[in-house]
Amino acid sequence: MKDNPFLLALAIVLLWYSVDKLQGNMDLRIKEEIRLEQRIKALEDRTNSLDWKIERVENKIDN
């Protein structure tokens, strides 16, 4: 490779592309993880709201 600067340049470009691609994949995974955490939080909030409503109905029935 030392004798052929074209091959060296090609290797550098391919390495840069690979690292850039890996970084892009990591960014997508992080965004997906954040989206899933937000969805879990929304579902937990919904569950808590439904539990509270069920409790109110049960209390009305008991009284």
Q: What is the pLDDT at residue 38?
A: 97
pLDDT tens by residue, 13-51: 999 999 999 999 999 999 999 999 999 999 999 999 999
Residues 6 or more apart whose CB falls under 8 angstroms from that of 22 comprise none
* pLDDT at residue 62, as a whole number: 87
Q: Give dist(CA 63, CA 54) in Å, integer.
A: 14
Spell out the SS3 assignment of 1-34: CCCCHHHHHHHHHHHHHHHHHHHHHHHHHHHHHH
pLDDT at 2: 65
Among 35, 57, 38, smallest CA distance to 46 is for 38
